[in-house]
Amino acid sequence: MRIDIVSIFPEYFSPLDVSLIGKARARGILDIRLHQLRDWTHDVHRTVDDTPYGGGPGMVMKPEPWGEALDAIAGDVRRLDAEPGEVPGPGAETVPTLIVPTPSGRPFTQADAVRLAREPWLVFACGRYEGIDGRVVEHARTRMPVEELSIGDYVLAGGEAAVLVMIEAIGRLLPGVLGNAVSAVDDSFAPGAMESLLEGPVYTKPPEWRGLRVPDVLLSGNHGVIARWRRDQALRRTAANRPELVAGMGALDERDRRVLD
C-alpha cells in the first residue's frame, strides 16, 4: 500500500519509523511518503493560512497550496507499476482515496480500517488552525473518492495525531504486518464474532501474581469452554463500558442474556 501524507509538520510522523509500521515500511509492505504543504506555496513566507471569510476567530488553510499538492500527488499516476520515465502501464489510471481528518467527519471505526486496508493508495490531508478551505474537499471529490473522518468527539490541534491513529489501525491489518494475523480477529470491534464487542481481560504467565490467580478456565486447555468464557467476559465488559453497543446488537440469545442478568 502506498500512503502519502501532506502536513505542515512532516516531522510529526517520526513514530511511523518504529514498531510494526516501521517494520512494514522496511519490508516494503507500506510505502509512506511525507510531503511539506509549504512546498506548494509561492510567497517568501510560505503562507498556508488566511483569515476566515464571514469573520470569526482563528485562521483557515488556503486552498491554493492544497490544490497544487493534491494535483502533484494524485497526478503521480505511474506510481504502482512503472519506473520514472517509463510509459504508464495497466493500473496507471488508479486514483488514491483522499482521507481528510476532521472532528466534523464521520466516526472512524474498525470497519473503516478493514475497508481502507484493502485500498492500494491513500492520501491523508492534515488540517491545522480552523481547518482547510471547504472548496478543497469539494474540488477533490470531482477527481477521487474523499472521506472526511473523525477519530473521536474532541478537538485536536491538527490532523497529524489523527492520521497516526488511522495509519496504525489500517497498517496493522495489512497482510504480513502482524506476526500472528489471528490476533486481529479477536480484537475489540473485529468483524465477525467481536463486531460489537470489546475484548475482555487477557493474561499471561505466571499463573499467580501478587495473590491474584489467572482464571482457571484459561488453564483448562478446553478451547470450547475458553471461547465461551471469553465471549462472556466481552459481553460483560461491553455492557459496563459501552452499553449502547450491546443495545445495538439486537435480540441476544438466551445464554448471552443470562450472562448480562
Which residues are annotated as catalytic? 103, 130, 172, 187
Instruction: For residue 5, give the nearest of 126, 134, 102, 174 by alpha carbon.
Output: 126
Interaction between residue 47 and ligand SAM (CB under 6 A): no
Interaction between residue 150 and ligand SAM (CB under 6 A): yes
Q: Is 153 annotated as a binding residue?
A: yes
Q: Which is nearer to ligand SAM, 9 or 229 (CB)?
A: 9
Residue for grid cell 470569526: 56
Q: Is 129 annotated as a binding residue?
A: no
Q: Is 21 annotated as a binding residue?
A: no
Q: Which is nearer to ligand SAM, 154 or 254 (CB)?
A: 154
Joined together, the cell numbers standing for residue 127 give: 488540517
* Closest residue to ligand SAM using C-beta atoms: 127
- Stretch 78-117 residues interacting with ligand SAM (CB under 6 A): 101-104
Interaction between residue 136 and ligand SAM (CB under 6 A): no
Per DSSP, 149 falls in state E
- Stretch 157-186 residues interacting with ligand SAM (CB under 6 A): 157-159, 162
Interaction between residue 127 and ligand SAM (CB under 6 A): yes
Alpha-carbon torsion angle 37, 43, 46, 48, nearest 10: -60
Per DSSP, 52 falls in state P
Q: Which is nearer to ligand SAM, 115 or 236 (CB)?
A: 115
Tell me, by CB under 6 A, how many residues bind ligand SAM: 19
Residue for grid cell 476532521: 102
Q: Which of 3, 21, 99, 151 binds ligand SAM (CB under 6 A)?
A: 151
For every residue of 76-138, DSSP letters joined together read -TTTTT--TTSPP-TTTT--PEEEEEEEEEEEP-HHHHHHHTT-SEEEEE---TT-B-HHHHH
Cβ–Cβ under 8 Å, residues 108 and 151: yes
Sign for the pseudo-dihedral over CA of 244, 249, 251, 254? negative
Interaction between residue 123 and ligand SAM (CB under 6 A): no
Instruction: Name the site residues for ligand SAM (rule: CB under 6 A).
Output: 101-104, 126-128, 130-131, 150-152, 154-159, 162
Binding site for S-adenosyl-L-methionine, residues?
127, 151-156
